[in-house]
């Protein structure tokens, strides 16, 4: 798709509400250490509109711009896109591991330095890769657009300790990261959101795992 992918090595991460984080919601508990035994390639940025149109042949984003993240994307569309390039969506655990990049706080840096969100986005998405990256070299893991995962949403977090994938089926898919429309308390590594696979919102985009 013409995007750059970053190698994320195998390792462990404590998922869920970060220690001393007072903004957590009920479904961010219990925190649990999980092991990811396989590394993976993850898109360095959210899928841009140029990449989306190149692969899918159309672009229905509300905010128009080649380097802006594709927005208003359903889970079904994100899944089709990632499959088309020989990849897949990340699991929620993979996403959180990649977002934290070895950090243990609720965010991997000062929020205004790393994310576009309600206080600084000025009612729009922004070109990808303009904020500071995390330690893995990934941009916009927090803010800009909320990102789909392939994990089905469950109120109970972290029922598996090794390569967790979540429930086999459910009503909603899980999203991560917070977006341009969100207040600061939603733009955290452990914050979880749920939407039906066919839902659209101009705050929602995605990135892929390449294998």
- Mean of pLDDT values over 185-191: 98
User: How does pLDDT run across 166-180, given as a tens digit for each residue?
Assistant: 999 999 999 999 999
H helix intervals, the chain: 49-56, 75-84, 92-100, 111-114
At residue 160, the pLDDT reads 82
At residue 110, the pLDDT reads 98
Three-state secondary structure call for residue 78: helix
At residue 142, the pLDDT reads 98
- Mean of pLDDT values over 133-154: 98
Three-state secondary structure call for residue 99: helix
Strand partners of residue 174: 194
User: How does pLDDT run across 41-54, given as a tens digit for each residue?
Assistant: 999 999 999 999 99
Of the chain, the percentage scoring pLDDT greater than 70 comes to 100
At residue 159, the pLDDT reads 73
- Across 88-117, b (16+ Cβ under 10 Å) vs e yields bbbbbbbbbbbbbbeeeebbbbebeebbbb
Is pLDDT above 90 for 211? no
Task: Please enumerate in sequence order all residues whose Cβ is within 8 A of that of 28, keeping only pairs 6 or more positions apart, or say none.
Answer: 16, 17, 157, 190, 191, 192
Of the chain, the percentage scoring pLDDT greater than 90 comes to 95
CA distance 72 to 61: 6
| One-character DSSP codes across 19-59 | TT-SS--GGG-S-EEEEE-S-EEEESSPPBHHHHHHHHS--
Is pLDDT above 80 for 158? no
How buried is residue 176: exposed, middle or buried, by Cβ count under 10 Å (0-12/13-18/19+)?
A: buried
* C-alpha 74 chain-centroid distance: 14
CB atoms within 10 A of CB 39: 13
CA distance 98 to 41: 10
At residue 19, the pLDDT reads 92
Q: Of 59-68, 84-93, 164-173, 176-185, which gets the smallest average pLDDT?
A: 164-173
- Chain-wide mean pLDDT for the chain? 96
């Amino acid at each position: 798709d013409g995007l750059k992918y970053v190698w994320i090595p195998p390792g462990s991460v404590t998922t869920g509400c970060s220690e001393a984080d007072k903004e957590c919601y009920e479904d961010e508990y219990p925190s649990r250490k999980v092991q990811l035994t396989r590394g993976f390639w993850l898109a360095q940025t959210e899928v841009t509109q140029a990449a989306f149109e190149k692969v899918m042949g159309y672009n229905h984003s509300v905010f128009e711009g080649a380097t802006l993240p594709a927005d208003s994307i359903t889970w079904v569309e994100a899944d089709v896109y990632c499959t088309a390039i020989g990849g897949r969506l990340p699991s929620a655990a993979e996403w959180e591991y990649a977002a934290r990049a070895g950090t243990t706080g609720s965010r991997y840096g000062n929020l205004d330095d790393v994310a576009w969100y309600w206080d600084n986005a000025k009612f729009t998405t922004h070109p990808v890769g303009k904020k500071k990256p995390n330690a893995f070299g990934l941009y916009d893991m927090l803010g800009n657009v909320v990102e789909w995962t392939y994990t089905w949403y469950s109120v109970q977090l972290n029922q598996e300790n090794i390569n967790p994938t979540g429930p086999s089926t459910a009503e909603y898919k899980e999203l991560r990261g917070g977006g341009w429309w969100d207040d600061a308390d939603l733009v955290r590594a452990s914050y979880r959101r749920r939407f039906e696979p066919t839902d659209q919102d101009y705050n929602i985009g995605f990135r892929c795992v390449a294998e």
